Amino acid sequence: MARILITSALPYINGIKHLGNLVGSQLPADLYARYMRARGHEVMFICATDEHGTPAELAAAKAKKPVAEYCAEMHEVQADLAAGFRLSFDHFGRSSSPQNHKLTQHMAGRLKAAGLISEVSEKQVYSNADGRFLPDRYIEGTCPNCGYDRARGDQCENCTKQLDPTDLINPRSAISGSTDLEVRETKHLFLRQRDMRDQLRDWIKSKKDWPILTTSIALKWLDDGDGLQDRGITRDLDWGIPVKDGEAEWPGMEGKVFYVWFDAPIEYIAATAEWAEAQGLGDEAWERWWRTDKGADDVRYIEFMGKDNVPFHTLSFPATLMGSGEPWKLVDYIKSFNYLNYDGGQFSTSQGRGVFMDQALSILPPDFWRWWLLSHAPESSDSEFTWENFQASVNKDLADVLGNLVSRVTKFCRSKFGEVVPEGGSLGPREEKLVADLTEKLRSYEALMEAMEVRKSSAELRALWVLGNEYLQEAAPWSTFKTDPDLAAAQVRLALNLIRLYAVVSQPFIPDAAQAMMDAMGCTDWSWPGDVGAALSLLPAGHAFTTPDVLFAKITDEAREDWQSRFAGIRA
């Protein structure tokens, strides 16, 4: 048994995420966590809401709520949706937790002691009307290059020119519209990432099993041009983790908070501490996952994320952990994803284009979405959601292949033998061949799941279902029954056991349907089929089962057309 630590990139707090966000890290991370647990490994699966920063403050202001209250409410909304999609986090934490405050302040203190923090005085725009410093992108004005009158302080989105806020003509606050702005001097802390370049390069080059794409992105950021730059870790905001040197005050930094990029990944660790507290366990319970001097040296740590997050997780976060000089567990493998597009364009949160997590669950069960998203995961390239493809894939794979097998076998058995596993008869060469074919496909499925090949795994799982259907088609117990009822009984006994086997191996993809299949078989034995032949005789003759309701109702053309127009844009 291995110990496997899995983290999913943290969803930001300011709204409900769309399906592209879901398949970009949380859902495939859940697939892997479920599979590893099913194989008997000890898993710690962690995610959390990322709650700090200006966008959270502005979303709260828009909702006319104090930011702490807004974040607490949105955390509950996101936690409920995660549960609705059956995301099996061991803990879904909050980056605003006391544990993260303490740990972030601790890390900053360690980095300071190691000489890896510099204090830099900067000039920044202050809005008197808003009573706050404005981040670059919250200053708007006229672009000096093209004359566009809504250019942002960091970039003009009309002509794409990179800007400084002081370049803007007639600058104003994007928050209040006030033009009462002034440039003030303010002090910030920077993480001296440049000083850690050699250490980071050695570490990245030691990762021989990482995809070339991952290491090349990291090395590019590390060495291209002027190379990796020092990075500000503080902000002049109210909402966030107060800047401290461990537990001590940091002279000159009163009233400032850590920048969200610094505290968010530390929440992976802090959320594990939140988990320990929620379980009534002591610090040793989470430290054995994260401190290599306290038991984490045999942990394998996998991070799931969108590809835009790769530089950050290969450079900045490791720089924090290494720079602390403490033996924190570093990532062993990064699984990253491209983007999911929506029906000929992009998902858009601002325009409400595409399907959002709450809407998805309001129209169909989670397994439908899980199956389609995972079997079309944007791994090697971007992928696209279309309603036609979704309908065809769900109807064919789930309803016609898996659902149909379960329905046919249980209904036939009920009508000829009653709702018990029938006795009598023995299996022949056709069944031996089925066992051999299933064994080969299952071993291949296991290898692909182990390697986090999400799409290929789904194809192999589907191939396992197809083998069962082909077998039933050829063996045709409904015909055999007329001439050789004993043989038909043996075939049906095998097929009922096959339903249980499918429940076990399909559970990581479609947990609700798997549970329904297992319940119908009157079984609670989720043991993984090592020996397929043995697994197919697990339910003995005389064992009672129930005939389940339809597992997967087909999506009709009318429903598809209705949804297609409803989700085309501008969310209410």
Binding site for Zn ion (CB under 5 A): 143, 145-146, 148, 156, 158-159
Nearer to Zn ion, 93 or 171 (CB): 171
Q: What is the CA radius of gyration of the chain?
A: 28
According to DSSP H, which parts of 18-97 are helical? Answer: 19-21, 27-38, 54-62, 67-84
What DSSP state is assigned to residue 208?
T
Residue 96 to residue 266: CA distance in whole angstroms: 11
State in angstroms the smallest separation of the CB of 167 from Zn ion.
10
Question: Would you say 373 and 329 are in contact if contact means Cβ atoms under 8 Å apart?
Answer: no
Question: Would you say 310 and 336 are in contact if contact means Cβ atoms under 8 Å apart?
Answer: yes
Nearer to Zn ion, 169 or 447 (CB): 169
Nearer to Zn ion, 11 or 165 (CB): 165
State in angstroms the smallest separation of the CB of 153 from Zn ion.
12
Nearer to Zn ion, 156 or 310 (CB): 156
State in angstroms the smallest separation of the CB of 169 from Zn ion.
11
Residue linked to tokens 């003509």: 169
Residue 277 to residue 285: CA distance in whole angstroms: 9
State in angstroms the smallest separation of the CB of 222 from Zn ion.
31
Question: Would you say 412 and 431 are in contact if contact means Cβ atoms under 8 Å apart?
Answer: no
Nearer to Zn ion, 151 or 535 (CB): 151
Give whole-number Cα distances, 508 to 88, 299, 323, in Å.
10, 22, 37
- Greatest Cα pair distance, the chain, in angstroms, is 93
Nearer to Zn ion, 156 or 517 (CB): 156
State in angstroms the smallest separation of the CB of 142 from Zn ion.
9
Nearer to Zn ion, 161 or 194 (CB): 161
| Nearest Cα residue to 302 out of 48, 10, 49, 32 | 32
Q: Is 272 exposed, middle or buried (0-12, 13-18, 19+ CB in 10 A)?
A: buried
State in angstroms the smallest separation of the CB of 30 from Zn ion.
43
State in angstroms the smallest separation of the CB of 346 from Zn ion.
22
Three-state helix/strand/coil letters over 458-479: HHHHHHHHHHHHHHHHHHCHHH
| Nearest Cα residue to 84 out of 456, 335, 360 | 360
Residue 119 to residue 73: CA distance in whole angstroms: 36
Nearer to Zn ion, 3 or 161 (CB): 161
Nearer to Zn ion, 145 or 439 (CB): 145
State in angstroms the smallest separation of the CB of 178 from Zn ion.
22
Q: Is 311 exposed, middle or buried (0-12, 13-18, 19+ CB in 10 A)?
A: middle
Question: Would you say 340 and 289 are in contact if contact means Cβ atoms under 8 Å apart?
Answer: no
State in angstroms the smallest separation of the CB of 154 from Zn ion.
12
Residue 526 to residue 518: CA distance in whole angstroms: 8
State in angstroms the smallest separation of the CB of 160 from Zn ion.
8
Give whole-number Cα distances, 428 to 433, 532, 533, in Å.
9, 16, 13
Nearer to Zn ion, 142 or 497 (CB): 142
